[in-house]
Chains A and B, each alone.
Chain A
Amino acid sequence: MSTTFWIILAGAVATYLTRVGGHLVISRFENIHPRVEAGLNAVPAAVLTTLVAPELLHAGPAEWAALIVTVLVSLRGGLMAMFLAGAAVLILARQFVG
């Protein structure tokens, strides 16, 4: 079995644990401490931010344009609109600035 397969299998087990774990563990506590809840709330935004921020270090004009448009569209639209607008600007800009 390849390493990739083991990554997928372990990722699947880890994911299933998050989906069943809340019911098995969290629901046994009467109250979650507010600080723990605040920390849990912060997890997705914190993790995903780290995948975007360092990209800014080597982003060129096309990439910057795409990210700025994504932020602007997010003020009004949902994830799909944001993504399509950002992707369209990126592809268009790369035809000119590579």
Chain B
Amino acid sequence: MAAEAISEGRTGGDFWDGVRLSMPVVVASAPFAILFGTIAVDNGFSVLEAFLMSAMIYGGASQMVGIELFGQHVAPWLIVLSIFAVNFRHVLYSAGIGRRIAHWPVLQQALGYFILTDPQFAIAEARAESGRPVGFVWYLGLGLPVYVFWVIESGLGAVFGKLIPDTHALGIDFLLPIYFLGLVLGFRKRPLWAPVVAASAVASIIAYRTVGSPWHVSIGAVAGIVLAVILPPHHSGVGKRP
């Protein structure tokens, strides 16, 4: 009984440890959740649909891409493909974090992968590297507040978006390119970043002018990825083994 109480107390401590670490993420993602909801409504989503997208996809950049293409009346399968492409980086997080959480029960793992976002991966991986265990309760304490606030704030943003009379004056239509540019610049420390961005930029502009939207997205992305694949590996800084 006493031992149980102690272990329960420790588990609760783990949960709140996670919650404490989640707070900066909650604060930093709040404007983007509200922005997502606002732009989603501006691009033809209902409040419920904006709310559902946040609750089910739970990936900021990919949701922004989704509503941007939805607003451009792109074919549904291409919207889904683009969401998949933007989220594809999670494959690497998943392979990395999989080693840390493989001992959890399967259902806990299944939930763990659902909330595996960029900061969730970064913080959990940092904890594992410092030699501390990545337990389910701690992981949930870290991820749950971020999820709950993300979904609620998306809904609030959508309600708010309905109330804005002049979206042009507030720049709502051009906030996404600024946001996407910020994300692109955030990757600039990656190997081959400059040639990849240059190739994708040129190819997407040419495709936009010739083939037309929405194909510039796929064509531009493929150009950058193919360039990264065909350049000799020693330029890309990967494959080096210590």
- A binding-site residues for B, Cβ under 8 Å: 2-12, 14-27, 33-57, 62-63, 66-67, 70-71, 74, 78-80, 82-84, 86-87, 90-91, 94-95
Contacts and interface: CB of A to CB of B under 8 A. Distances in A.
Contacts of B13: none
Contact of B191 (A2, A27, A38, A71): A38
Contacts of B26: none
Contacts of B176: 51
B79 A51 contact: no
B169 A94 contact: yes
Grouping DSSP codes into helix (H, G, I), strand (E, B) and loop, the A interface class, with mixed when no group exceeds half, is helix
A49 to B, nearest CB: 4
B49 interface: yes
Interface residues of B, number: 99
Contact of A41 (B44, B190, B205): B190
Contacts of A38: 191-192, 228-229, 231, 233, 236, 238-239
Interface in B192-242: 192-193, 196-197, 199-205, 208-209, 213, 216-217, 219-231, 233, 236, 238-239
B96 A22 contact: yes
A42 B58 contact: no
A18 B57 contact: no
A28 B56 CA distance: 27
B219 to A, nearest CB: 8
B178 A66 contact: yes
Nearest to B224: A46
Contact of B49 (A8, A25, A63, A83): A8
Given A8-B53, A11-B62, A50-B221, A70 B181 contact: yes
Nearest to B171: A90
B200 A11 contact: no
B238 A71 contact: no
B91 A8 contact: no
